[in-house]
Structure 1
Amino acid sequence: PLQQFGRDGSKGFRHYWELLDYVFGLPDPNLFPHIPVPEGDREGLLRFIEMSRRLAGFSVINDETSLSVGTDSGTDDWHVRVIDPPADENFLGASAAFRQLHNDGETASFTNAHNTLFKAMRSLPSEQQEEVKAIVAQWRAARGKLMNNTIQTLTALKAGNATLENPVSYGNINPDELIRTFNYGDSLHFGDARDNLDNLLADPFHEAYYKYAALLSIVGLSHLYFGYAVLLGRALGG
Structure 2
Amino acid sequence: MAKDDVQHVQAVEPRALALPQPLRFAPPYADRSPNPEGYAYWWQLFRLVFDLPNPASFAKLPGISAAELRILRRYVHTCQELSESTVLSHSSGVSINMNDGVEAVVADFPVKEAIRGTTVLFRQMASAQEPASYSQVRKIIGQIAHQHHDEHRDQRLELQRLWNRAHGQLNSRLLTAMADRRALELMGAHPNLPVPGEDVKPQEVLSLFQYGDLIHWDRHAEAFQEVANDDFQHKWETLNFLSVMTQLSHFYLGYSLLVARSVGDR
2:261 and 2:207 map into 1 onto residues whose CA distance is 31
Report the more deviating stretch, 163-172 or 214-223. 163-172
Q: TM-score with structure 2 length normalisation?
A: 0.82
Q: Which residue of 2 aligns with 1:191?
A: 218
Report the more deviating stretch, 50-59 or 194-203. 194-203
Q: TM-score with structure 1 length normalisation?
A: 0.92
**Mapped contact 2:75–2:125 kept (Cα < 8 A):** yes
2:190 and 2:74 map into 1 onto residues whose CA distance is 38
Q: Which residue of 1 aligns with 2:152?
A: 128
Q: Which residue of 1 aligns with 2:16?
A: none
Q: Aligned runs of 1:160-171 on 2, under 5 Å?
A: 160-161=184-185, 166-171=193-198
1:164 and 1:69 map into 2 onto residues whose CA distance is 28
1:70 and 1:210 map into 2 onto residues whose CA distance is 18
- Which of residues 206, 210, 218 is equivalent to 2:233? 206
- AA aligned opposite 2:36: S
Of the two, which has the highest radius of gyration? 2
Matched, 1:116 2:140: yes
Cα–Cα, structure 1 residues 89 and 164, in superposed 2: closer, same or farther, change >3 Å?
farther
Give 1:145 shift.
Answer: 0.6
Q: Deviations 1:82-124 (Å, cap 9, x if unpaired)?
A: 12x2211111100000000101000111110100101221442
Give 1:134 shift.
Answer: 2.1
2:191 and 2:95 map into 1 onto residues whose CA distance is 23
- Which of residues 58, 62, 66 is equivalent to 2:85? 58
Q: Which residue of 1 aligns with 2:11?
A: none
2:130 and 2:92 map into 1 onto residues whose CA distance is 28
Q: Which residue of 1 aligns with 2:17?
A: none
Q: Which residue of 2 aligns with 1:230?
A: 257
Give 1:79 shift.
Answer: 2.8
Taking only the aligned residue pairs, the percentage that are identical comes to: 23
What is the SS of the residue equivalent to 1:160? helix
Q: Which residue of 2 aligns with 1:22?
A: 48
1:175 and 1:2 map into 2 onto residues whose CA distance is 24
**Mapped contact 1:104–1:110 kept (Cα < 8 A):** yes
- Which of residues 127, 132, 138 is equivalent to 1:103? 127
* Higher helix residue share: 1
**Mapped contact 1:92–1:188 kept (Cα < 8 A):** yes
1:220 and 1:158 map into 2 onto residues whose CA distance is 16
Size of the aligned set, in residue pairs, is 234
What is the SS of the residue equivalent to 1:79? strand
**Mapped contact 2:58–2:155 kept (Cα < 8 A):** no
The answer for unaligned runs of 5 or more in structure 2 is 1-27
Give the superposed CA RMSD. Answer: 1.8
The answer for unaligned runs of 5 or more in structure 1 is none
**Mapped contact 1:38–1:120 kept (Cα < 8 A):** no
